[in-house]
Homo-oligomer: A and B are copies of this chain.
């Protein structure tokens, strides 16, 4: 559970793509950030923001998703003050291009950007100011990790990202991934360091595992990637 003082926090789920969207807001100033919003759930998310009296400042994507279309672009049309944000290495368009160490500030709260490439070149992990929560996108999943067989995927790079940029966080830091397919909502850095069946292996074994997953291509990749390169509004 999140312990950050003065933080409003909601984990939201999109059932078809098993994607988690995260809403964070400053309880005092009501400024909010949305991480990885999904097109299909835009009405649910905007309704919740409205009911909680929050003012959405930034919608950030942890990477250019291949499995669903982001609602960032459409949300910007509905909320003209809203800024979109994504890694500068994503190749996607946005209002704010993020790099290592950048801060996304909302009221008295902030998230820090850690570059965690390997699933894609532009993958980032967002860490709360007090290091109690990490939003790991598709880099580190609960007892798993993102695939590395398309979109600039590189197993070696992913292994190094997770070990250098996520596993260096405190053991009790909560891990909130972009997806879970088994109904798990949260993990911790300590647990993943200890129990992740892939990341507890050597680099060589990890690369071998990742290069032999033989997964089918994501169903929506040919639609999602081009759309997400332009904030999700391509032909929507």
Contacts and interface: CB of A to CB of B under 8 A. Distances in A.
Please classify how large the interface on chain A is, using the bins under 10, 10 to 19, 20 to 34, 35 or more.
Answer: 20 to 34
A80 interface: no
Interface stretch (A12-20, A109-117, A148-156): A12-20
Copies of this protein in the complex: 2
A93 interface: no
B13 A13 contact: yes
Interface in A22-49: 41, 44, 48
Interface stretch (A3-11, A100-108, A204-212, A223-231): A3-11
Interface SS majority for chain A: mixed
Contact of A1 (B2, B182, B184): B2
Given A15-B15, A51-B195, A182 B10 contact: no
Interface of A: 1-3, 7, 9-15, 41, 44, 48, 51-52, 182-186, 191, 194-195
